[in-house]
Chains A and B, each alone.
Chain A
């Protein structure tokens, strides 16, 4: 068996946390809270490890003798400036928040604008890429809900017959999304149980 100690710890911790949700024992609840607390700390440490890995990758790309990446020095510079500013001003500080508001937010908004154009183009190309009935239904429903969501036709929904149709149309996506979410929930359940039973081990130990 690969990594028996790691597997035993994962199974034990997972089982205790799961049992904490189903059995109202104070001791179980306390242990569950403690384990989740440790999980939060580990997640924070892993985030730090991931960020240093990101900087390390770009450092090596920057100093590569051939095909060095032109954007890597920018990333490292931005990282160092943000890191030092965060240490001096603290992340919750008003000055640091201004950096986020005036630099990061506009950059992300620009990407969002790019996304809108990219999605419109993808929708236009959908029928070219996949000529299926489902694609057609997808495009028609996207258009219908775009019109409904825009609110331009809100006056029409006061009319007796149309208000019922409007009610039906707004409930349709709810039913569909519930069906998809039930499937996702069942998939998540089996994925979690595979870990708890030790069949699936996304760690090598």
Chain B
């Protein structure tokens, strides 16, 4: 039963994404709803490029074999877009992570951005770094980067633990902008209190769409919205049926 539901969800999501992608040109352009955090992020990126300061993207510590790796994929897409925007800056963006595979992928993402901009001679692999191999070592390794590398804005997107608050505090001390999102509930609670602009829940996966990384990200957001309303509907109907069966004293199904 669970497998069938899972398969159905995957098939439905694939179908919706393909539908929105194929009908993209025929649909009227519908803008994304305004999320103040993304407006602030856009301004912070622009200011950083203008002032010749650095953007720091940190993509968490999710292992490639974890289910939380999807958050790192969102972080990598954001890194790619940030690199495209700020490649002309005096201080190109810097990526840190807490997992070896993510460090390799962040280097690859940066290299792809430099290659696309035809400035491969400016590419430095040290700008995609493993900050530390354990959760606390990762945070301890990323704090000096915020402090010493003339960072104007930090984008924290990925899987973090509660210790991510130390990164936010370091950014706060340096008066640099922070937009933070995580899949972990613990980190979300901590980030709500400590980050300048926290994102909650699935807003994490909207980052590439709001950074205009490509139309496919907006299409997948639409597919996500349709399925979310479907899930909400199923939950509400389930609760109502449960309530009615409770009142009647007999199961309805």
The yes or no answer to A182 lying at the interface (CB within 8 A) is yes
A39 touching B64 in the complex, CB below 8 Å, given contacts A71-B144, A123-B193, A204-B115: yes
B127's closest neighbor in chain A, by CB?
A57
Contact pattern, A 9-27, Cβ under 8 Å of B = 1, otherwise 0 = 0000000001001100000
A44 nearest CB across to chain B (Å) = 8
Q: Is A114 an interface residue (CB 8 A)?
A: yes
What residue in chain B is nearest A110 (Cβ atoms)? B136
- A21 and B133 form a contact (CB under 8 A): no
Of B45-53, B224-232, B244-252, the one contacting chain A is B224-232
Rounded to whole angstroms, the CA-CA distance of A57 and B142 in the bound complex is: 13
Say whether, besides A50-B103, A203-B108, A43 and B63 are in contact (CB < 8 Å): yes
Name B's interface SS. Answer: helix
B22 nearest CB across to chain A (Å): 12
- B93-145 with Cβ < 8 A to chain A: 97, 99-105, 107-109, 111-112, 115, 125-126, 129-134, 136, 139-141, 144
Inside 8 A of A182's CB, which chain B residues have their CB?
228, 231
Binding site for A on B (CB under 8 A): 3, 6-7, 9-10, 13-14, 17-18, 21, 63-65, 67-68, 70-71, 73-74, 76-77, 80, 97, 99-105, 107-109, 111-112, 115, 125-126, 129-134, 136, 139-141, 144, 148, 162-163, 165-166, 168-169, 183, 185, 188-190, 192-194, 196, 200-202, 204-205, 214, 216-217, 220-221, 223-224, 227-228, 231
Query: Which chain A residues border B144 with CB–CB below 8 Å?
Result: 69, 71
Bound CA span A46–B100, Å? 5
CB proximity of A60 to chain B, nearest CB, Å: 7
Report the separation of the CA atoms of residues A46 and B130 in the bound assembly, to the nearest whole angstrom: 11
- Whether the pair B101, A50 counts as a contact (CB closer than 8 A) is yes
**If A183-B201, A184-B183 touch, does A119 touch B190 (CB 8 Å cutoff)?**
yes
Determine the distance from Cα of A177 to Cα of B77 in the docked complex, in whole angstroms: 26
On chain A, the number of residues with a Cβ less than 8 Å from chain B's Cβ atoms is 61
B234 vs chain A, min Cβ distance (A): 11
Complex alpha-carbon distance, A204 and B141, angstroms = 27
Tell me how many residue pairs across A and B have CB atoms closer than 8 Å: 193
Contacts of A40 in B (CB 8 A): 65
Most buried by B among A43, A104, A187: A187
Task: Confirm or deny: A193 has a beta carbon within 8 angstroms of a beta carbon on chain B.
Answer: yes
Could you give 13 example pairs across A and B, Cβ below 8 Å? A21-B3, A22-B10, A50-B99, A50-B102, A53-B126, A53-B129, A60-B126, A142-B189, A184-B183, A186-B202, A187-B70, A187-B224, A204-B108
Q: 16 extra interchain contacts, Cβ-Cβ under 8 A, other than A22-B6, A50-B103, A53-B126?
A: A18-B10, A42-B64, A118-B166, A119-B193, A122-B190, A177-B185, A180-B185, A187-B224, A188-B183, A189-B70, A190-B221, A191-B71, A191-B220, A192-B73, A193-B14, A200-B73
Q: Is A47 an interface residue (CB 8 A)?
A: yes
Least Cβ–Cβ distance between B140 and chain A, in angstroms = 7
Question: Of B9, B139, B223, which one neighbours A111 at CB under 8 angstroms?
Answer: B139
List, in ascending order, chain A residues with CB within 8 A of B105's CB.
Answer: 202-203
Residues from 145 to 191 in A contacting B, C-beta threshold 8 Å: 177, 179-184, 186-191
Complex CA–CA separation, A179 to B189 (angstroms): 14
